[in-house]
Structure 1
Amino acid sequence: MALKPILIVCFSATAAKNLALKLSKNTDFWHLYPHKDIFYLQCGIMEAFDNGFEAITADIVDSIHSSAPVDNLITTTIENIKHRFLTTKRVWVVAFSGGKDSTCLLQLVYEMLASLPKHQQRQTYAIASNTLVEAPHIDAFLHNVVDSINTHARENHIPFEILQVKPSFKDDFWVNLIGKGYPSPTRTFRWCTDRLKITPAKAEVAKITHRYGSALLILGTRKAESSHRKKSIQKRILNEDGYSQHHDFPDTLTFAPIAEWSTDEVWAYLTTHKPLCEKDHSELFSLYAKAGGDECQFITDLS
């Protein structure tokens, strides 16, 4: 079989370039694959698609085999989510930030709920924090996602709602920065996280637990995010059902269905599974597409 050139692509050209350079210098790799033509795409994959790039495969069998592990992971995760939903009476609350991980999680939970017979469905929520200081295009993006899913849920009689929470006046960013003289947040003094996100979400979860008795907070945290996040997840004390107690939220346990997923598996799911609502993931892709590094972050300045 004739060996073909290799083209490496990713959501940012940075990772593709680094891998291409490593492979070109790896003698073991060239012993296994003695072909010197290796290339990388010098732009994000979504940017390439926007400009007419089309990915094809010459062998459909290879395509099926390569996607099978991801498909199995997705199926296993969905079945796990469904089983846990049907075997607990706690109200489910999905933590949604608008990023790739929480978007993946939200879609998994929402589509699981939508697939259930009506008699097995029950009220489920997601909480999205509006800090009131997001960049305008991020703010518009989050509102569009929330409105799209809530509209789909109402029109299809699915008991699901994304609740938007925001800080109280006393916790407002500008009230603290200008009015109270707080310094700008830093890595060592991140006063804004508690006031703008945790406190409003905590108050909303308290309302939900007061109404339903207890809640299960569904998190999109993953071990592959960082070594710190991996240690944090591993330190959690799980009960016999595999849930951990949330220290900030009373009467609330936590569950992280995609904790073992890699970043590539998250993107694989998002790129191959269109959401039920009208809002697709194209805008989410564009927010990540031109960012650099191994773990892409949101673009905060489109210029």
Structure 2
Amino acid sequence: MNIIPIHQETPLSLIRQSIIEEYLSDVQTYPWIVTFSGGKDSTLVAHLVFEALLELPPSLRRRQVHFVSNDTLVESPLVVQHMRGTLEKILRAAEIYKLPVNGEVTTPKLSETFWTLLIGKGYPSPNRSMRWCTDRLKIEPTSGFIKNKVSESGAAIIILGVRKDESATRKASIESHQNIENSNLTPHSSLANAFVYRPIVDLSTDDVWEFLASHNPPWGGTHDSLIKLYREAAGGECPIVLSQDEAPGCGTNSSRFGCWTCTVVNKDKSLQGFVDVGKTEYQPLIEFRDWLVEIRNLPEYRQVERRNGTVTIKQGKHIPGPFTVEARQMILQRLLDVQTAYGNELITQEEIELIKQIWAQDLIQTYTRKNA
């Protein structure tokens, strides 16, 4: 691979210098939290931050850097495999180079996983008007990690790989947040004492790809697997989401690297892209996801009452409750059949056990209400 030196003055070299200066700024007691989804933008930020640390002498590497990724446990399989594999390489190399770097993959609580809520409690498949998944699977796990670091150090700085060039919505969101005077930092909209640094905010998509294609990652290897991932999926990424302000970037047709179970989008273009290039093992997952969309509003699969026993009427129209226990049992059995056909775990035994406990509790409550 032809490696183009970054030492000449280019937009990327200026960004890396800005990262170094920001790292050495007066607030070195506050840790950095680099959000890493494994997509192109977060990979570029991880690359530049890692290189910046390597350029500094050990005596100046006083600020702790945490790489945090999020796994909803229903991520697109190839994407989560790539994310976890790359994060392992980053952390292994950081240990070899003795960099002040560690990392963590956040996941939802057992009681808040996609399957616990959908199959256990009967939540209807998410759609644009009822997107219960983003907060529980993405926002809460990563926000919890950040809050812990803020509690330990008094404040924390989140490094985001977001760019104005991603979409008009993203540009408007970025421009709605004003930097602190004479600073590159912006107060986070919902996390107290957390500040946001967006080093690649003004780069174009072409800038990102040109750099990744011509520079090997400082943790070793190449970015070829990332490039291949995008080429095969023909998709964009669903980045780390930290607040409801950023939630529209998840579950939209312009952000296609998301959960394989996502019923918010009309079609899972990334997973279909993998099937189209010969990875047919993902076809059962696509069919299951499409089936979840089909059964969502069928009245025979939904309870009349909500989980608290009330009946909801809005504007003269009945709003159905969760999936019936019988429908949830049917969904679980079909998921287990898909898991067998796919050949890899899609739902854990711990989730199944909790789901069955929830079913038992729901049946007891229903019986009690009817016989009260």
Question: Which residue of the other structure, out of 215, 230, 238, is the alignment partner of 1:288?
Answer: 230
Structure 2 counterpart of 1:248: 190
Structure 2 counterpart of 1:268: 210
Question: Which residue of the other structure, out of 20, 23, 37, is the alignment partner of 1:85?
Answer: 23
State the TM-score, normalized to the length of structure 2. 0.60
Measure, in 2, the Cα distance between the counterparts of 1:110 and 1:209. Answer: 22
What letter corresponds to residue 183 of structure 1 in structure 2? P
Helix, strand or coil at the partner of 2:10: helix
Deviation sequence 1:156-185 (CA, Å, 0-9, x none): 211112211100112111111111221222
How far apart are 1:137 and its partner, in Å? 2.0
> For the structure 1 residues 116 and 234, does the alpha-carbon distance in structure 2 shift closer, same or farther, using more than 3 Å as the test?
same
Deviation sequence 1:50-89 (CA, Å, 0-9, x none): xxxx99xxxxxxxx9xx99x96101111111111111132
Contact 1:91 1:215 survives alignment (8 Å): yes
Question: Which residue of the other structure, out of 58, 64, 73, is the alignment partner of 1:132?
Answer: 73
What letter corresponds to residue 98 of structure 2 in structure 1? H
Structure 1 counterpart of 2:179: 238
Contact 2:233 2:271 survives alignment (8 Å): no
Measure, in 1, the Cα distance between the counterparts of 2:160 and 2:139. Answer: 14
Deviation sequence 1:70-113 (CA, Å, 0-9, x none): 96101111111111111132211111111101111111111111
How far apart are 1:245 and its partner, in Å? 1.2
Measure, in 2, the Cα distance between the counterparts of 1:284 and 1:168. Answer: 29
Helix, strand or coil at the partner of 2:108: coil
Structure 1 counterpart of 2:35: 95
Helix, strand or coil at the partner of 2:122: coil
Whether 1:226 and 2:226 are equivalent positions in the alignment is no
How far apart are 1:259 and its partner, in Å? 0.6
Measure, in 1, the Cα distance between the counterparts of 2:233 and 2:147. Answer: 37
What letter corresponds to residue 186 of structure 2 in structure 1? S
Q: Which deviates more, 183-192 or 93-102?
A: 183-192
Count of aligned pairs between the two proteins: 239
After superposition, residues 196-207 of structure 1 pair within 5 angstroms as 196-207=137-148
Structure 1 counterpart of 2:117: 176
Contact 1:288 1:296 survives alignment (8 Å): no
Measure, in 1, the Cα distance between the counterparts of 2:176 and 2:35. Answer: 20
Measure, in 1, the Cα distance between the counterparts of 2:159 and 2:191. Answer: 13
Helix, strand or coil at the partner of 1:194: helix
Measure, in 2, the Cα distance between the counterparts of 1:152 and 1:293. Answer: 29
Structure 1 counterpart of 2:340: none
Gaps of 5+ in 1: 1-53, 56-63
Q: Which deviates more, 150-159 or 136-145?
A: 136-145
Contact 1:145 1:279 survives alignment (8 Å): no
What letter corresponds to residue 219 of structure 2 in structure 1? C
Measure, in 1, the Cα distance between the counterparts of 2:126 and 2:45. Answer: 29
Structure 2 counterpart of 1:215: 156
Structure 2 counterpart of 1:37: none
Measure, in 1, the Cα distance between the counterparts of 2:221 and 2:118. Answer: 35
Measure, in 1, the Cα distance between the counterparts of 2:112 and 2:9. Answer: 44
Deviation sequence 1:23-68 (CA, Å, 0-9, x none): xxxxxxxxxxxxxxxxxxxxxxxxxxxxxxx99xxxxxxxx9xx99
- Root-mean-square deviation (CA, aligned residues, Å) is 2.4
Structure 1 counterpart of 2:135: 194
Helix, strand or coil at the partner of 1:300: helix
> For the structure 1 residues 197 and 83, does the alpha-carbon distance in structure 2 shift closer, same or farther, using more than 3 Å as the test?
same
Deviation sequence 1:129-159 (CA, Å, 0-9, x none): 0111113222221111111111111112111
Question: Which residue of the other structure, out of 200, 213, 238, is the alignment partner of 1:258?
Answer: 200
After superposition, residues 23-102 of structure 1 pair within 5 angstroms as 72-87=10-25, 88-89=27-28, 90-102=30-42
Whether 1:300 and 2:300 are equivalent positions in the alignment is no
Contact 1:171 1:196 survives alignment (8 Å): yes
Measure, in 1, the Cα distance between the counterparts of 2:83 and 2:52. Answer: 22
Measure, in 2, the Cα distance between the counterparts of 1:192 and 1:289. Answer: 27
Helix, strand or coil at the partner of 2:271: coil
Measure, in 2, the Cα distance between the counterparts of 1:199 and 1:260. Answer: 28
Helix, strand or coil at the partner of 2:82: helix
Deviation sequence 1:214-258 (CA, Å, 0-9, x none): 101011110000000000000002211132111232210101111
State the TM-score, normalized to the length of structure 1. 0.73
Measure, in 2, the Cα distance between the counterparts of 1:109 and 1:195. Answer: 29
How far apart are 1:207 and its partner, in Å? 1.4
Helix, strand or coil at the partner of 1:158: coil
Higher RCO, Cα 8 Å, sep 6+ = 1
